[in-house]
């Protein structure tokens, strides 16, 4: 995270990729420091053999925990699996607060024993912040968690882009001489279906993704351009700005359904772009309900063909979507909203740890 923080300081990235540090520092209520990501690489090599990522980071947190009141990890088990097991065993008592984007460990397992273990581990956290109401509700049902945990140790928060970063960008007009749509990203992407759809479309598609993400696509049609090399985000932004729409094709096992496509939606909202995305019921933003985009069933080539045609052949609809993204960004889907809620959650967890409020008390976000 120190890398993304450096990018923010240089004006090359938004604060949303630092997950609240910038806004909390500016608020003067909570001081957040970033522990360097890696110091002893051999520990990470060992951890990978046991299915524990970032073991080095977690061991250093364990031995330096006395410096902090709360450990906050925006990537849940990716950053805290080892610490969580220690906490579950009673060997680590520091308050641990995490953000959850995807199904937690064995939440969707068919094994009752695994789900029971997942329930025990999830409730070992002092604060769990789901980035989706639907994902939170699904987890509560799957693990048979009591509703009393909501706003006591289990919360939701709407992660969104930093307003000031995007407002500082120079305004760039869409490219009308060679109009194109853009799709970018690696995780859970279904470029096979998307490229197949564009074989039947007269529009240009620009893809920014590593070659490994499109190995089963075959020969690209002439209207599809692939950029497989690394492109810094601040350079990619101008390509986004000049595009007609953002396409987010997704493919993943249903048992892993979570907030896939969430990061790309940040660009959709922040840059006021219409979007077409694979149906993802557990995302916290329903693009069709909000009137900012269209959805397509997973793996549906004809669905993509139809959606792209509908968007590109109806300019009033596209402009209406653009206007609606602006309102969402300004009022509901931005880093200020996330940071405000994060501040309340961390303060609440701290007050519980200090005995200033009862363990069974609930956080009232309206106060």
Looking at the predicted structure, is the pLDDT value of residue 276 above 80?
Answer: yes
pLDDT for position 351: 94
The pLDDT-based confidence of 360 (bands split at 50, 70, 90) is confident
Mean pLDDT of the chain: 93
The pLDDT score that the predictor gives to residue 288 is: 96
Which of 184-193, 199-208, 350-359 has the weakest average pLDDT?
350-359
pLDDT bucket at 308, cuts 50 / 70 / 90: very high
Please state the pTM of the whole predicted model: 0.93
Q: What was the pLDDT predicted at 162? A: 95
Per-residue model confidence (pLDDT) at position 36: 85
Using the predicted structure, report yes or no on whether residue 29 has a pLDDT greater than 80.
yes
Q: pLDDT tier at 27 (50, 70, 90 boundaries)?
A: confident
What percent of the chain shows pLDDT beyond 90? 78
pLDDT at 313: 96
Mean pLDDT of 127-135: 95
pLDDT-derived band at 113, boundaries 50, 70, 90 = very high
Q: What is the mean pLDDT of residues 261-272?
A: 94
pLDDT mean over 259-285: 94
pLDDT of residue 1: 79
pLDDT, mean of residues 54-63: 92
3-state SS string for the chain: CHHHHHHHHCCCCCHHHHCCHHHHHHHCCCCCCCCCCCCCHHHHHHHHHCCCCCHHHHHHHHHHHHHCCCEEECCHHHHHHHHHHHHHCCCCCCCEEEEECCCCCCCCCCCHHHHHHHHHHHCCCCEEEECCHHHHHHHHHHCCCCHHHECCCEEECCCCCCHHHHHCCCCCCCCCCCCEEEEECCCCECHHHHHHHHCCCCCEEEEECCHHHHCCCCCCCCCEEEECCCCCHHHHHHHHHHCCCEEECECCCHHHCCCCCHHHHHHHHHCCCCEEEECCCCCCCCHHHHCCEEEECCCCHHHHHHHHHHHHCCHHHHHHHHHHHHHHHHHCCCHHHHHHHHHHHHHHHHHHHCCCCCCCCCCCCCC
Region 343-359: mean pLDDT is 91
């Amino acid at each position: 995270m120190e890398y993304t923080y450096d990018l923010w300081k240089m004006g090359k990235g938004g604060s949303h990729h630092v997950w609240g540090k910038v806004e909390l520092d500016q608020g003067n209520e909570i001081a957040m420091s970033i522990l360097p990501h890696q110091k002893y690489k051999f520990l990470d090599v060992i951890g990978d053999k046991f299915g524990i990522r970032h073991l080095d980071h977690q061991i250093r947190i364990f031995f330096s925990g006395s410096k902090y009141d709360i450990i906050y990890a925006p990537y849940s088990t990716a950053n805290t699996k080892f610490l969580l097991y220690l906490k579950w065993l009673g060997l680590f008592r520091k308050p641990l607060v995490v953000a959850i984007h995807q199904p937690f460990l064995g939440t969707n397992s068919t094994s009752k024993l695994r789900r029971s273990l997942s329930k025990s581990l999830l409730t070992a956290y002092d604060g769990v912040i789901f980035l989706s109401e639907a994902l939170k509700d699904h987890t509560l049902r799957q693990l048979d968690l009591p509703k009393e945990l909501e706003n006591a140790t289990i919360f939701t928060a709407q992660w969104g882009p930093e307003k000031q970063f995007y407002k500082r960008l120079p305004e760039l007009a869409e490219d009308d001489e060679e109009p194109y749509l853009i799709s970018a990203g690696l995780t859970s992407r279904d470029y096979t279906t998307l490229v197949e759809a564009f074989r039947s479309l007269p529009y240009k598609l620009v893809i920014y993704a590593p070659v490994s993400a499109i190995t089963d696509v075959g020969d690209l049609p002439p209207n599809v351009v692939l950029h497989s090399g690394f492109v810094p985000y601040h350079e990619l932004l101008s390509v986004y700005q000049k595009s007609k729409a953002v396409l987010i094709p997704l493919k993943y096992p249903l048992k892993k359904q979570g907030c896939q496509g969430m990061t790309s939606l940040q660009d959709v909202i922040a840059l006021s772009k219409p979007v077409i995305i694979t149906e993802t019921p557990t995302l916290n933003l329903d693009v069709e309900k909000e009137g900012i985009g269209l959805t397509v069933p997973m793996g549906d080539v004809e669905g993509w063909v139809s959606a792209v045609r509908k968007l590109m052949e109806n300019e009033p609809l596209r402009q209406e979507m653009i206007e609606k993204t602006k309102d969402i960004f300004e009022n509901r889907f931005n880093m200020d909203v996330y940071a405000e809620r994060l501040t309340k959650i961390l303060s609440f967890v701290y007050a519980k740890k200090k005995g200033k409020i009862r363990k069974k008390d609930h956080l009232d976000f309206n106060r």
